[in-house]
Amino acid sequence: MESIYNYTFDELASYFLNKKEKSFRAVQIMEWLYRKKVRSFKDMTNLKKEVIIDLETNFNLDFLDVEEVYTSIDGTKKFLFKLKDGNLIETVLMKHNYGNSICVTTEVGCNMGCSFCASTKLGMVRKLDVAEMVLQVLQVSIYLDEIKEKLSNIVVMGIGEPLDNFDNLIKFLHILNYPKGLEIGARHITVSTCGLPNKIREFAGIDLQVNLALSLHAPNNEIRNQIMKINKTYPIEEVIEALKYYYEKTNRRITFEYILIDKVNASKENAIELVKLIKGLNAYVNLIPYNEVEGNPYKTVSHQQAEEFFSILNKNGINTTLRMKHGDDINAACGQLRIRKINNG
Ligand code: SAH
């Protein structure tokens, strides 16, 4: 039996049309699933009995099992979910002064091989299906409802490379955005990629105004090759070409994420080189002090180093924010918890 949470509004509508039912049923079901957040088809009280029986025969409403929930001193929460096949994934809930955001995982593990990242250590086991992504958001949103808090943003920055799981990602985004459901505005959703040029071009064509972020992390190919294996296949110039296409087509500003790793990419020279690389691209830079990973040699930067890097970009007219770390004490950087759990059994 398939999860109902795999279905977009359009898919549900055609499901009912095929059964000679009114497609309006799909609106009702989306409301029950994502507005009223019911857990059983019987609770969908405006549906006919035959429709309820049909749904019960063909779909399940199973949630992900919550293996553990960790809370950090700064209020960040990390949900470790167990999938039906036993795989573990992580979802992070971050509290900002402007609201709550959820960081969503798209794959079990990752194949991109960034050397600083905990998610990629064991490679990719499999891609998540649509329901497994949707349920991360739905279940955390139910937690937020319980504590009377609002969900304001979704960042697709958990474990995995979202553009590598493209079709499921797009369906997931449509479900989040559906107006009579969770209704998360596209501008409140950010998808982060390590930089797959063809997929970035394809992403430019989707009919949702979501934000795109690129994990740049280096001012040149030499450094990027060292820390991001994908750069050997798609060097910076090719990624930037794709981003220019994306910008021309969508007119949406791109965010560059740049983690600051001591003695790797965080010197003043690196900052100056970064300015040269992205000046004129109408980009926005998010600087993030590296979150150290057990067993990795990389070290984070001091506050002062981060401020210096920031001020060089800022002085040169690059729109920059210096993002402080969240949930350091609970290993909230992607994949850290999953890896610890796998290692410690
Ligand atoms: N694969 C996508 C999305 C997942 S990673 C991507 O590459 O963008 C989300 C972000 O966290 C990326 O920018 C990634 O490089 C960064 N990241 C990974 N490990 C980190 C760590 N230990 N500290 C800080 N940021 C990290």
Residue 285 alpha carbon to ligand 1 centre in Å: 14
Catalytic residue numbers, as ranges: 90, 334
Q: What residues have CB less than 8 Å from 83, skipping those under 6 apart?
A: 64, 65, 89, 108, 128, 132
pLDDT at 248 over 70: yes
Q: Do residues 61 and 4 lie in contact, with contact meaning Cβ atoms separated by under 8 Å?
A: yes
Query: Which of 42, 60, 78 is the endpoint of a domain?
Result: 60
pLDDT at residue 345, rounded to an integer: 46
Residue 215 alpha carbon to ligand 1 centre in Å: 7
pLDDT at residue 282, rounded to an integer: 85
Tell me the C-alpha distance between 101 and 23, whole Å. 32
The CA-based dihedral angle spanning residues 95, 98, 99, 103, taken in that order and rounded to the nearest 10 degrees: -60
101 and 14 together in one domain: no
86 and 49 together in one domain: no
pLDDT, greater one: 345 or 259: 259
Nearest Cα neighbor of 165 from 207, 124, 204 is 124
Asked whether 117 lines ligand 1 (CB < 6 A), one says: yes
328 and 204 together in one domain: yes
Extract the tokens encoding 1: 């039996």
Query: Which of 40, 60, 80 is the endpoint of a domain?
Result: 60
Asked whether 257 lines ligand 1 (CB < 6 A), one says: yes
Atom of ligand 1 nearest to the CA of 335: 19
pLDDT at residue 75, rounded to an integer: 84
19 and 122 together in one domain: no
Count Cβ neighbours within 10 Å for each residue of 322-342 and write b for 16 or more, e otherwise: beebbbbebbbbbbbbbbebe
Confidence of residue 72 (pLDDT cuts 50, 70, 90): confident
- How many helices, marked H, and strands, marked E, lie in the chain? 12, 14
Please say whether the dihedral angle defined by the alpha carbons of residues 82, 83, 87 and 89, taken in this order, is positive or negative: negative
pLDDT at 344 over 60: no
Asked whether 261 lines ligand 1 (CB < 6 A), one says: no
292 and 240 together in one domain: yes
pTM for the model stands at 0.95
Residue 267: C-alpha distances to residues 255, 263, 272, 290, 296 (Å):
21, 7, 9, 14, 20
Residue 334 alpha carbon to ligand 1 centre in Å: 6
Query: Which of 18, 36, 60 is the endpoint of a domain?
Result: 60
pLDDT at residue 53, rounded to an integer: 97
The HSE-up count of residue 173 (CA atoms within 13 Å, CB side) is 25
Q: Whose CA is nearest to atom 7 of ligand 1?
A: 194
Asked whether 288 lines ligand 1 (CB < 6 A), one says: yes
- The arithmetic mean of pLDDT across residues 177-200, rounded, is 97
Confidence of residue 329 (pLDDT cuts 50, 70, 90): low
Q: Do residues 71 and 77 lie in contact, with contact meaning Cβ atoms separated by under 8 Å?
A: yes
23 and 90 together in one domain: no
Asked whether 334 lines ligand 1 (CB < 6 A), one says: yes
20 and 164 together in one domain: no
pLDDT at residue 325, rounded to an integer: 62
Extract the tokens encoding 114: 């960034």
The whole domain housing 8 covers 2-60
pLDDT at residue 95, rounded to an integer: 86
Beta-bridge partner residues of 314: none
**Entry field: residues in the chain:** 345
Residue 249 alpha carbon to ligand 1 centre in Å: 26
The HSE-up count of residue 251 (CA atoms within 13 Å, CB side) is 0
35 and 128 together in one domain: no
Tell me the C-alpha distance between 133 and 100, whole Å. 18
Question: What is the β-pairing status of strands 99-103 and 88-96?
Answer: antiparallel
pLDDT, greater one: 294 or 47: 47
Asked whether 227 lines ligand 1 (CB < 6 A), one says: no
What is the percentage of the chain residues whose pLDDT exceeds 70?
Answer: 94
Q: Whose CA is nearest to atom 5 of ligand 1?
A: 157
Atom of ligand 1 nearest to the CA of 296: 22
Atom of ligand 1 nearest to the CA of 160: 1
198 and 321 together in one domain: yes
DSSP H stretches of helix in the chain: 9-18, 24-34, 49-58, 130-146, 166-177, 197-204, 221-227, 230-233, 236-250, 268-278, 303-315, 336-344
pLDDT at 333 over 70: no
Asked whether 216 lines ligand 1 (CB < 6 A), one says: no
Confidence of residue 145 (pLDDT cuts 50, 70, 90): very high
Q: Whose CA is nearest to atom 18 of ligand 1?
A: 117
Residue type, 242: A
Asked whether 76 lines ligand 1 (CB < 6 A), one says: no
Q: What's 6's domain CATH number?
A: 1.10.150.530
Residue 175: C-alpha distances to residues 5, 9, 162, 189 (Å):
9, 7, 16, 12
Q: Whose CA is nearest to atom 4 of ligand 1?
A: 157
pLDDT at residue 60, rounded to an integer: 98
Domain count, the chain: 2
Extract the tokens encoding 322: 């210096």
pLDDT at residue 73, rounded to an integer: 82
21 and 165 together in one domain: no
- The arithmetic mean of pLDDT across residues 221-241, rounded, is 98
What is the percentage of the chain residues whose pLDDT exceeds 90?
Answer: 85
Q: What's 138's domain CATH number?
A: 3.20.20.70
pLDDT at residue 163, rounded to an integer: 98
25 and 136 together in one domain: no
249 and 210 together in one domain: yes
Q: Do residues 15 and 26 lie in contact, with contact meaning Cβ atoms separated by under 8 Å?
A: yes
pLDDT at residue 197, rounded to an integer: 98
Q: Whose CA is nearest to atom 21 of ligand 1?
A: 291
- pLDDT tens digits along 265-315: 999 999 999 999 999 888 899 999 999 988 889 999 999 999 999 999 999
**What's the whole-number average pLDDT of the chain?**
93
